[in-house]
């Protein structure tokens, strides 16, 4: 039973970290609220997540990020901050989820969480310019809403059905990798077209 609990905790931690890569604040807020209402139990080192001040701050920042990520230009700034925030959120969530049931050292758990969340966030950050360029920015709110919904779904699955959450994160990483590849090809093609339409500028740069 202890082994089963440990495996479930690790799988759920991957799910929460993946959710943090899409929305750094939503899973932190959800986990804090779940601990506050007694739905889950966090270790003493992470009980601060369910404190009233932490929940208020997380709720305010979550709402700001939720709205700001739907607005062109502001979403780019938020993605820049997310490069640091998402891995940090993933590290906290992975360590908190595994603190009671797993024998993983906290440092190892933090690294696994940071890498998982950082990888997902990197994929969405690379793909966002592709969405902006191909839709004129109109597609950004749609994609952002889909990311928020996926983050929420992953958070719920991580707490309720950890193995499904883990599988979903693996699929998500594959999809993010594919989107990043498509975005890189699109950017190279766009630069190539610009070079062909502005040969004098290219020659000036060469000189």
What are the residue boundaries of the structural domains of the chain, listed by start? 2-206
Count CB-CB contacts under 10 A for residue 22.
28
Instruction: Flag whether pLDDT at 205 surpasses 60.
Output: no
pLDDT digits (tens, 9 = 90+) for 184-195: 776 677 666 666
C-beta separation of 55 from 154 below 8 A: no
Does residue 201 surpass a pLDDT of 70? Answer: no
How far apart are the C-alpha atoms of 109 and 10, rounded to whole Å?
9
- 85 contact partners, CB below 8 Å, separation of at least 6: 24
What's the pLDDT at 175?
A: 87
* Model confidence at 180: pLDDT above 80: no
CB 95, CB 103: distance < 8 Å: no
Using CA atoms, how far residue 188 sits from 19, 36, 43, 85, 191, in Å, is 30, 49, 48, 29, 5
- In the predicted structure, residue 203 carries a pLDDT above the cut 90: no
- Which range of 3-17, 37-51, 98-112, 154-168 scores highest in mean pLDDT? It is 154-168
**Pairwise pLDDT comparison (189 vs 35), residue with the higher score:** 35
User: How is residue 50 written in tokens?
Assistant: 């369910």
pLDDT tens digits, 47-63: 999 999 999 999 999 99
- Tens digit of pLDDT for each residue in 107-150? 999 999 999 999 999 888 877 776 766 666 677 788 889 999 99
pLDDT tens readout for residues 148-179: 999 999 999 999 999 999 999 999 999 888 87
């Amino acid at each position: 039973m202890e082994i089963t609990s440990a495996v479930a905790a690790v799988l759920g931690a991957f799910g929460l970290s993946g959710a943090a890569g899409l929305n750094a604040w939503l899973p932190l807020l959800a986990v804090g609220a779940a601990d506050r209402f007694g739905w889950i139990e966090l270790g003493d080192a992470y009980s601060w997540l369910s404190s009233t001040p932490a929940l208020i701050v997380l709720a305010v920042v979550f709402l700001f990020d939720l709205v700001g990520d739907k607005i062109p230009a502001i979403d780019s700034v938020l993605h820049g901050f997310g490069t640091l925030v998402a891995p940090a959120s993933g590290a906290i969530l992975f360590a908190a989820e595994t603190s009671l049931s797993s024998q993983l050292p906290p440092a190892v758990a933090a690294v696994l969480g940071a890498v998982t969340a950082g990888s997902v966030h990197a994929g969405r950050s690379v793909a966002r310019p592709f969405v902006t360029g191909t839709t004129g920015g109109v597609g950004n709110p749609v994609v952002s809403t889909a990311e928020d919904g996926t983050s929420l779904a992953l958070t719920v699955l991580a707490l309720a059905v950890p193995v499904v959450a883990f599988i979903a994160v693996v699929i998500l990483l594959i999809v993010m990798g594919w989107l990043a590849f498509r975005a890189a090809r699109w950017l190279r093609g766009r630069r190539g077209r610009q070079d062909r339409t502005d040969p004098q500028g290219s020659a000036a740069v060469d000189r």
